[in-house]
Amino acid sequence: MEFIRPDININFVGHRKKAFLLSALLILVGLAALLYRGGLNLGVDFAGGTLIHVKFSEQTSPDQIRETLGELITHGAIQQIGIAADHEFLIRTETVTQELQIFANNVEETLNLAYGEDAASVLRVEMVGPKVGQDLRQKALFAIYYAFLLIAIYISGRFEFKWGKSGVMAGFLILGVYLLEALGVSVTYLTYGALITTVALCWFLHLPYALGALLALMHDVFITVGIFALTDREFTLEVLAALLALVGFSLNDTIVVYDRIRENVRKNPRANFLQTINMSINQTLTRTIITSGTVLFVALALFFFGGTVIHDFSFALIVGIIAGTYSSIFVAAPLLVLYEEFKKKSVARAS
């Protein structure tokens, strides 16, 4: 099935500078939002504390709820979720108690005394200790980094046939991360440093396909996380799962484009590389639209009809699918052109 004419020739690569500028702008806006808000709005899974999901039968506001609960909620945050007509709120507090159900009952009774009998009902209550939250944050960062590292090995082996070189690179990086973690280096800085080192090694070891795929995946994750910071949505384990799923989805789309580029280069090795890449993107356009479109429809259905519990999960999927489809066309493939142009300039200067 083809929605796009086989002979179409849209100049995607010709707009690469505009695309890079747009991507950089979106990432910078996300980083600015992160700095402005002091980081992500971490859920109880990562921050620790107690979370209570309450549904009201009438309209109210976070300020009214906070005033009603008084000393029950200390250093807490109250956020309305879902659509306004649902009257659902998330109450997060630093309070950690073993008597979780008793605490939830006290909250419900206090609210019903103020709002009227059966005016408020607790839908769910969760508690995570601060130590567990910190451990989950560290494991989340490592999960994302090791996913990227394994992807770099796979891409370099499949497209550049450099399994040995990429394996040695991965071995040194994993050993270095392990040793630095044992020495007490902050996991956050350690993960970012390892990620930057991986990208730099892909460049110096001449692994352009791995480099393009990694930067495209980082682009997708940064944009999704930035939009979460911009909209002040809660970042939970479910959202992390969505990010890891999106990494796989975006990589799959990128591999399809890379495969077609490799095939076309083998068929006509003397052809202009820029034109070959542009032709390859056009040839896989129908497949990209069908795959991304069907997954996007499912994510939209989850977002609008799945309920508030998976609202942030489905939102992350929607943003990531759009960003991943965009990066496969406008980031991953054009980066090969930039690498090729830089290599030619370096050879010219050396000669």
DSSP 247-293: HHHHHHHHHHHHHHHHHHHHH-TTS-HHHHHHHHHHHTHHHHHHHHH
What pLDDT score does 70 carry?
Answer: 77
Would the pTM of this model clear 0.75, i.e. be above it? yes
| Inter-residue contact 43 to 235 (CB < 8 Å) | yes
Look-up of token digits 């006509």: 268
Nearest Cα neighbor of 150 from 62, 65, 229, 244 is 244
Q: CA-based Rg of the chain, rounded to a whole angstrom?
A: 24
**Phi, psi for residue 78 in degrees, rounded to 5:** -120, 125
Q: Where are the domains of the chain?
A: 13-42+132-350, 49-128
- Residue 245, both tokens: 């799923």
d(CA 313, CA 200): 32
Nearest Cα neighbor of 223 from 327, 339, 145, 135 is 327
d(CA 131, CA 46): 9
Nearest Cα neighbor of 313 from 215, 220, 259, 241 is 241
The reply to whether CATH 1.10.510.10 applies to domain 13-42+132-350 is no
What pLDDT score does 220 carry?
Answer: 93
What pLDDT score does 175 carry?
Answer: 81
**Which class would CATH give 49-128?**
alpha beta
Other beta carbons less than 10 A from residue 230's beta carbon: 16
Encode the chain (351 residues) as per-residue pLDDT tens digits: 556 666 677 888 888 889 999 999 999 999 999 898 888 888 777 777 778 888 888 888 888 888 888 777 766 677 787 777 788 888 877 666 667 777 788 888 888 888 888 788 888 887 776 666 677 777 887 888 888 888 888 888 888 888 887 888 788 788 877 787 777 777 777 888 888 888 888 888 888 898 999 999 999 999 999 999 998 888 888 888 888 888 888 888 889 899 999 899 888 888 888 888 999 898 888 888 888 889 999 999 988 887 777 888 899 999 999 999 999 999 998 999 888 888 877 767 766
Other beta carbons less than 10 A from residue 37's beta carbon: 12
Strand 234-235 and strand 41-42: pairing? parallel
| Inter-residue contact 210 to 166 (CB < 8 Å) | yes
What pLDDT score does 24 carry?
Answer: 93
What pLDDT score does 206 carry?
Answer: 85
